[in-house]
Chain A
Amino acid sequence: MKEDTIILQDLLSADQAKRQFIGETELRAQENTSRRIVLNDGTLLSNSQSVMRGVSARVRRSGSYGFASDSDYSPAGVERVLTHATENAGFLNGRRPLGKNYRGGRSPYKNEDGLRHAERASEADIMRTLTELDRHLKETYPKLASRRVIYSGLTMEKLLLTSDQVHSHTLTPRAILAVALYLEAPDGGMVELYNVFGGYGYFGDHFFEQETKLHEDMEKMYRALDEKAGGVYARGGRHTVVLDSDLAGILAHEAIGHTVEADLVLGGSIAGPNLGKPVASELVTLIDYANEAFGERCPVPITVDDEGTVAKDAVLIDEGQLVGFMHNRETAHHFDHEPCGNARAYEFTDEPLVRMRNTCIVPGKDKLQDMIASVDDGYYLINSGNGQADTTSEFMFGVTKGYEIKNGKIGRALRDTTVSGVAFDVLKTVTMVSDDLTWSCGGMCGKKQMIPVGMGGPAIKCEMNIGGRG
C-alpha cells in the first residue's frame, strides 16, 4: 500500500506571494479518476478508465463571475485561467454590473482530508472478483434470463486556494457495485431487479475478499426477483405506505432536498414562502450532513466546499418546521443565512453549484415490524430506481421492489411502479418513523452537472400516490 495517494502537486500556492488576486478568487486544481467495468452475461461490455485533470479559476467582481478552466495544470496554465476568468468577469461588468460588493473576507483556513486513503485491491483483483461474482450468479441461478455486474469507481482529488487564504486538499474515493438481474415472468414478460452496493472508499474497502457477504446479497436479490416475477401491479391511487429506509433517503433528497436548495428557492420553489412554517409532521427532522452523522463518516464527506466554506451540517426541517435552505455564499448573503458548505463542482471544468451532500431524515422511535403491522391495506416499498423533484415540491420516484400489506402482514410482491406526492403535504401525513437508518451510497444527482450524493433515512409510514393499473 502506498503511504500517500495524492497526485496533485500544489502549484496554486507556490507563487501566491507574487500573485495579486483581482476580486474574490477561487483557484482549483482537480483530478477525477474513474473506472468502469460492465459484465453482461459474462461478456465484458465495458472495461474503461479515465483520468481528467486540470485547473480552474473563478473570479467574482461586483457580483459577476468569470470562470475559466484548462486541462494544462502547470504554472502557466494556472496563470492563464486566472487571466481568462478575470477577463470573463470584466466582460459581464462591462455590460451590466450587478453591483453586489458585499462578501466579506474569511479567516485563513487550512484543510486536508482523505489524502492517505489508498486502494488495496489491484486491477487484476477487481476484474477477478467481478468475474467470479458473475460466474456465481450464472451457476447458482440458472433460471436468470440475463445478468449484469457493473463496477463504477470514482476518486475526486481537489486542491483549492482562495484569495482569502482558504487552502484545502481533499481526496474522496467512491466504489459502487451495481447488479441487475432479469427473470422471465410466468406471463412471458421480463422483470428486473437492480441493486447498488458500496459507497465511500475504494473497491478493496467494500468488495475485495468479501465473497460470502456478496453471495448473501445476491441470494436476497434473487429471491426478491423471483417473488417480483410472480408479482402484481399496484392499484393506482392514494394509499398508506411504509417506505423502507432506502426509499426514505430518496424522499429526503428528491422530495425535500431539491426544493430547499437556495438557488431553486430564488427560482420560484414553493419552499421560499414556507420558511419558518410547519411543512411536515413533528416526527420529521431533515438534515444535510457535511461529513459525519451518528458517529460515522458520511457516504460523501465534505470538509471544505469548492468556494472554501468550512462545511457544517445544514438543518433543513426541525421537528416539522422548515428552518433553513442549502446555500452557496451568494445565496446565503441574499437570505442572510450562514453558508454550510453546499457549493460543489463535479469536474475541474465546472463551477460550484448549490448541491446536497448527505441528506437524511433523522430516525425516530418506532420499530419497522410495528409500522407494517399497523397497516390494514397498503404497501411496503423498499427499493427505488430513480426520482425527480419539482419547484412545487411534487416529487416522483420509481419503486423497483415492494410488497402489498394486507391486515398488517406482507402480501404479494409488486411489479415496478412509481410513487408521487406533494412533499409538504405527504410529510404532514407521517405517523411513524423507525429507529434505524440506512444510507443509500450510490447516488449521482444531476443539476447542470452530475455530483455524488449520499441519501439516508429510517422507515416512514405516510400517505402517497401510487401509479398502477386498476
Chain B
Amino acid sequence: MEQLKLAEQILAGALERGADMAECFVSNTAFTELDSEAGEIHLARHVATDQISLKVIVGKKKGSVSLNQKDDASIAEAIEKALKSAGDATPDEAEGIADEKENGRFAFGEPEPDLDRLYTLLDTLIADTKQAFPLVCFESAGIHHTSTRSVYANSNGVRHEVQNGRNTVSCMFSASKDGTSSSFNYFGMMIPDDCTDLLALDGVRRLLGDAEKQIETVSIGDGAIEDVLLSPECFDNMLEFAEGVLLSDVPLISGTSPWKGKLGTKVAADALTWRSSPDNEQLIARQKITSDGFIAKDHTLIENGVLKAYSLSRYGAAASGEARSGNTASMYLVDPGTVSFEQMIKNIRRGILVNRFSGGSPAPNGDFSGVAKNAFLIEDGKVTRAISETMIAGNLIDLLNKIEALSDTCHGDGARLVPWAHVKGISVTG
C-alpha cells in the first residue's frame, strides 16, 4: 500500500505540473547471494534497493527518469527532470500508456530467502561435482534469492501490484587436465521449490560431463558438413536472436525486419511451433505484468511454421502499425518433435553437435557467424570426438526453414523449454 500511495503521489505531482499522461513503477528488491570462487564459498551478499521509474508525456513528447531515492526533494526533482526532458523532445504520435482497465494483484514464489537451505544446496553442488566430475573446475558458482515487491500505476487509472520471490543458481565452469583446458560453459537455472540436488536439474550433468570430454579436441577436418545438431541451450539462443532481429520493436518500426508484413505466411519449417508463455505451469518463472503496464498474456509466435504474431510492446505496435503482443517476456515454449535425441544422432552421417554459440547479434537480414563451442563431431550416427576452432555461419531465416527434426523432449532453465534441433544450411569451417 505504501508503494501504491507513493506511485499515485508521483503521478499526481507529474499531472499537476503539466503532464498529459504519466506512468510510474515503484519497486523494492532484496537480493541475497552466496557466491563461490574456485570451489570455495567466499561471499555472502545482500542488496536492498528501491527503484522508481516515471514516464511523462506532454503534447505527445515523452521524458523518463529512474531513481532510487524516495525522499520528497528527490522525487520533486525527478518529476521536474522528466517534464523538462519531455519539453526538449520531439513529438511522437505513437506515444501513450497502458489503457486496459484490467488491474491485477499477484503474489507467487518464496518471498524470503532461506540462507541455510541455499548454503546447503550450493555446498552440496560443489562437493558432488568434485566427486562426479573431478576434472571440472567452477570458475564461479552462485546461488541467489530475489524478492521483489512492485506496483505499476498510470494516469489512465491502471493499477497493478506484484510480489514474488525466486531462487536461482548460476555456474561458470571448465574442465582441465595436465595443463590443458576445455572451453568454459555455464548454466543459469531457476530452482524448483522442492529441489534438494542442483546436479539433478535439467541438463546440468550433461553440460558438466561434456566439459570433461572437451579437454582434448580435434579439428573437424576437410569433409563437408551439412548437418548441425543444436543443443536446447543453443537453439534457444538462436530463437532469441530471431526474436531480436525479426520480431521485436526496433526492426519492425524501422522496417529492417525481413518478416515485416509476413503475418499469416509461412516463414519456418512445419515442425516449428514457438510460443511465448509468461504464465505457464511448465515453467517456474512468471511474468504477470509487461514492462509497459499490461497484464501479460501467452501468445504464439509461429505455429506449424506460420508467423502468427510479432513480439511488440504497446509503443512498438503503435509505431509499426501492427498489433500489440500479449507479452514481450521472451519466455519460450517450443513444441517438441517426434524423434528421440538418440535417434537424431543416429540419423546424422557426418555433422556436428553444438552446445554453445559464441557470436554476436546477427545482421538485420539474419546473417550470423561465430564459433561452435563445446561442440562434438558426429560420424556415422555416433558422437565421436570433441572439436575446437570450428566456425559456423548462416542465416536465421534459412535455419528456421531448414529444421530437419526437433527432439521429442524439451529442456530448459525454468524460464524456457526448447527441444534439440537438427538443422541444415549452416556453413561449417574448421
- Flag if B359 contacts A396 (CB, 8 Å): yes
B271 smallest CB distance to A (angstroms): 25
A19 smallest CB distance to B (angstroms): 20
Neighbouring B residues of A299 by C-beta, 8 Å: none
Neighbouring B residues of A444 by C-beta, 8 Å: none
- Flag if A416 contacts B367 (CB, 8 Å): yes
Neighbouring B residues of A148 by C-beta, 8 Å: 250, 254
- Flag if A390 contacts B358 (CB, 8 Å): yes
- Flag if A391 contacts B41 (CB, 8 Å): no
A71 smallest CB distance to B (angstroms): 4
B9 at the interface (CB under 8 A from A): no
A220 at the interface (CB under 8 A from B): no
Neighbouring A residues of B61 by C-beta, 8 Å: 44
How many residues of A are counted as interface, with CB atoms below 8 angstroms from the partner's CB atoms?
A: 83
Which of B41, B182, B258, B393: most chain A Cβ within 10 A? Answer: B393
Interface residues of A in 64-84 (CB under 8 A from B): 64-71, 84
B255 at the interface (CB under 8 A from A): yes
What string of 1s and 0s marks CB contacts (under 8 Å) between B391-430 and chain A? 1110000000000000000000000000000000001010
- A185, closest chain B residue (CB): B365
Interface residues of B in 67-103 (CB under 8 A from A): 67-69, 78, 81, 84-86, 88-90, 92, 94
Given A65-B42, A91-B115, A182-B254, A391 and B92 touching (CB < 8 A)? no
Given A71-B68, A266-B38, A398-B359, A418 and B370 touching (CB < 8 A)? yes
Cα distance A269–B184 when bound, in Å?
9
- A50, closest chain B residue (CB): B66
How many residues of B are counted as interface, with CB atoms below 8 angstroms from the partner's CB atoms?
A: 79
Stretch at the interface among B169-177, B193-201, B300-308, B346-354: B169-177
Interface residues of A in 93-147 (CB under 8 A from B): 95-96, 98, 123-124, 127-128, 131, 145-146
Neighbouring B residues of A42 by C-beta, 8 Å: 90
Which of B364, B369, B371: most chain A Cβ within 10 A? Answer: B369
Neighbouring B residues of A448 by C-beta, 8 Å: 140
B113 smallest CB distance to A (angstroms): 12
- Flag if A391 contacts B363 (CB, 8 Å): no
- Flag if A182 contacts B371 (CB, 8 Å): no
Chain B interface main SS type: strand
Which one of B62, B69, B371, B393 lies within 8 Å of A417 (CB-CB)? B393
A351 at the interface (CB under 8 A from B): yes
Neighbouring A residues of B89 by C-beta, 8 Å: 44, 47, 127
Interface residues of A in 172-192 (CB under 8 A from B): 182, 189-192
A203 smallest CB distance to B (angstroms): 13
Interface residues of B in 49-67 (CB under 8 A from A): 49-50, 61-67
A278 smallest CB distance to B (angstroms): 15
Neighbouring B residues of A401 by C-beta, 8 Å: none
Given A69-B48, A98-B40, A50 and B67 touching (CB < 8 A)? yes
- Flag if B393 contacts A467 (CB, 8 Å): yes
Neighbouring A residues of B68 by C-beta, 8 Å: 51-54, 71
- A388, closest chain B residue (CB): B358
B141 smallest CB distance to A (angstroms): 10
- Flag if A391 contacts B360 (CB, 8 Å): no
Cα distance A402–B50 when bound, in Å?
46
- Flag if B65 contacts A351 (CB, 8 Å): no
- Flag if B250 contacts A45 (CB, 8 Å): yes
**Could you give 28 example pairs across A and B, Cβ below 8 Å?**
A45-B250, A45-B253, A50-B65, A64-B44, A65-B44, A66-B45, A68-B48, A69-B48, A71-B49, A88-B44, A91-B115, A95-B41, A145-B254, A146-B254, A236-B427, A263-B37, A267-B172, A268-B175, A386-B360, A388-B359, A391-B181, A396-B359, A398-B360, A416-B363, A418-B360, A422-B388, A467-B393, A469-B427
The 9 closest A-B pairs by CB, nearest first: A267-B139, A386-B360, A467-B369, A236-B429, A88-B44, A467-B391, A48-B64, A189-B365, A398-B360
Told that A44-B61, A396-B370, A416-B363 touch, could you supply 19 new A-B pairs with CB distance under 8 A?
A: A47-B62, A64-B41, A65-B44, A65-B45, A67-B46, A71-B69, A88-B44, A123-B85, A146-B254, A146-B255, A190-B365, A267-B38, A268-B139, A349-B49, A351-B45, A391-B139, A418-B391, A466-B391, A467-B393
